[in-house]
Amino acid sequence: MNKSRPSSIYGPVDSWRLGKSLGVDVLCVDSICSFECVYCQLGKINRVTLDRDIFVTTEEILEDLAETNWKDADVITFSGSGEPTLAANLGDVISKLKTKTGKPIVILTNSTLLNLPEVRSELSMADKVFCKLDAWSDDVLRRVDRPHVGIDLESIVEGICLLRDEVDGFLAIQTMLLRAPCESDIQAFADLLNRIGPDEIQLNTPTRPIPPEYFPETRGNEVEYDQGFTQLKTISKTELESIRLAVSRLVGCTVVAR
Ligand code: SF4
């Protein structure tokens, strides 16, 4: 096994949405993403890219799996050290883990590569896909998610819509809220959500402190937080619940908040 990187398998960790979730990190040689979200719990994205590549081989991931208590997991979740769809072997890994474990597969994506037909085809093998959508304007997208050049809100929404049209599995939208949107922003957000037609909308606030550098231990939820970590100021639970109710009134699916 390559000892110069953390294991590509972590947990199982307790997830409020999924139960006992075994994490798969197809990127763990570094933090690698097409966003640099201001709230990213990884600390720092060292490689901001849109280029797909193989970072950890499928064989290495299966070797890592064999060293874990994967049988204790309710579900296998792809998230980890950045954007999982950047891994060119994502489809191969999903297929092998499905065959090996028989567990449901969940993918957390930031939605930036969904315009690629091969990415949508790979995601069609998952049981659930959670698509990040943090913005209702390009200005919010730039301030909150700080995307790789060339990514705009329309390309993200279009990609999610294509996935929605092509894939039968459960599709949720995950939105991280740092500030309370005004009434017209909530309407603009609801218009995007109605265009997509997800099965569920999950509203979150950033609760985890941010390390100063890439810190792979933050992939799970059992980190010892340090004094060098930053805690973002965000909206209260009461404000979050008001936003949840306002969005619920405008969309035709379940909206949950946490
Ligand atoms: S999309 Fe996820 S991994 Fe990428 S920067 Fe944002 S929070 Fe971090």
Domain boundaries, the chain: 9-257
Residue 218 tokens, joined:
């933050």
Instruction: Identify the weakest region by mean pLDDT among 75-79, 167-171, 209-213, 226-230.
Output: 226-230
3-state class (DSSP) for residue 170: strand
Give 46-99 pLDDT, tens digit per residue: 999 999 999 999 999 999 999 999 999 999 999 999 999 999 999 999 999 999
If one residue of 25, 40, 146 were mutated to test the ligand 1 pocket, choosing by the most ligand atoms within 8 A of its CB, it would be: 40
Residues flanking ligand 1, CB < 6 Å: 33, 35-37, 40, 42, 45, 82-83, 110, 132
3-state class (DSSP) for residue 138: helix
Concatenating the DSSP letter of every residue in 20-52 gives EEEEE-TTTTS-EES---TT-TTS--SEE----
Q: Whole-model pTM?
A: 0.95
Whether omega for the bond prior to residue 181 falls within 30 degrees of 0, making it cis, is no
CATH architecture classification, 9-257? Alpha-Beta Barrel (3.20)
pLDDT band at 3 (very low <50, low <70, confident <90, very high): low
Residue 57 tokens, joined:
């081989």
Whether residue 233 has pLDDT greater than 50: yes
Q: Which whole number is the average pLDDT over 9-36?
A: 94
